[in-house]
Amino acid sequence: MFRPGIVFLDSDTLGEISPYQLTRVGNLTVYQTTTADQRIERISGKEIVITNKVVIDRTVIDACPALKLVCIAATGMNNVDLGYASEKGIRVMNVSGYSTESVVQHTFSMLFCLMGNLVYYDEFVKKGAYVQSGLFTHHGRPFHELAGKKIGIVGMGTIGRRVAEVAQAFKAHVSYYSTSGKNLDAGFRHVTLQELLIESDVISVHCPLNDTTRDLIGYEELRRMKKDAILINAGRGGVVNESDLACALDEGLIGFAALDVLIKEPPDASNPLLNLKYPEKLLITPHIAWAAVESRERLMEGIINNITTYIKETSGSK
């Protein structure tokens, strides 16, 4: 059986999920991380490259004539020059849908952590205040039910739709704004962005980053939100302007924010979101919403299936 040469450029992005499962479909070389200067040397002579974030651009493609397939260990394909790859007869295959349930779960984990003031209550107990309180309960910070609240979703793709379905299960009222302007009949109430900002108790961002959505939510948009509203971004960094969000939180324009994505990952220490006056108003996780163990296992199987499909389709010419 034909066994192509495969190189995985950034296996660390999959954590503890073993890349060596890929030996089932080819002769594998694994690198935990790869810098821009190392790309050509490591890809040279290989037919298949697997990358999560390492950029495969025109320079790499021209320097690696043996390359025939780029497998992206993700859904987004913005790290590959798709047009030039097509010109050169190089296939590019991603894995779609593998992380939907993981992202939806993480979205609600962040929401309930903030909505329930769980960090405060956990610290109240662990720092000894509960032991000294003399009362079986404590009402130091008010918290609210999601039932009956208005949740607005920015971007009604696969993930946005699942968030909407789960929100409905909690008896929240769902509306959404389509950033493409095309998805206007998703089975939920569609509104303009301005309507969404003004009326929502929770806004959850699940749209891609492009020229239309970059800085979609800035200071003026944040100023239109309710004073106690919660903003969640589990979509893409850059959709929410980080400097403006820092100002809005410091000025009390909104209640809380939760982010799993940032413009630069990891961020610089100077990022204004890391230097808030009231850091308890912001929850940040390090781009992990996609990465439940089951999600990463599905991703690996998807990569293997893509390579298997490629081998079946091309083996006749080998």
The arrangement of strands across the sheet holding 5-8 comes to 27-30, 5-8, 48-51, 69-72, 91-93
- Could you tell me which of 279, 214, 269 has the C-alpha nearest to residue 246? 279
80 DSSP 8-state letter = B
Is there a catalytic annotation at residue 173? no
3: DSSP letter: -
Catalytic residue among 42, 106, 161, 236: 236
Tokens of 97: 């849908």
Which 3 state secondary structure label does DSSP give 13?
Answer: helix
Query: Can you say whether the dihedral through the CA atoms of 301, 307, 309, 312 is positive or negative?
Result: negative
160 to 61, 167, 177, 232, 237: CA distances (angstroms): 35, 10, 10, 12, 16
Are 9 and 41 in contact by the 8 Å Cβ rule? The answer is no
Asked if residues 77 and 94 have their Cβ atoms less than 8 Å apart, the reply is yes
* Candidate list 87, 145, 251, 265, residue with the active-site label: 265
- Alpha-carbon distances of 190 from 92, 142, 196, rounded to whole Å: 34, 31, 9
144 is catalytic: no
Q: Which of 195, 280, 287, 297 is catalytic?
A: 287
Nearest CA to 175 out of 193, 153, 157 is that of 153
Q: In what order do the strands lie in the sheet with 173-177?
A: 189-190, 173-177, 150-154, 202-205, 230-233, 256-259, 282-284
- 242 catalytic residue (yes or no): no
Catalytic residues: 236, 265, 287
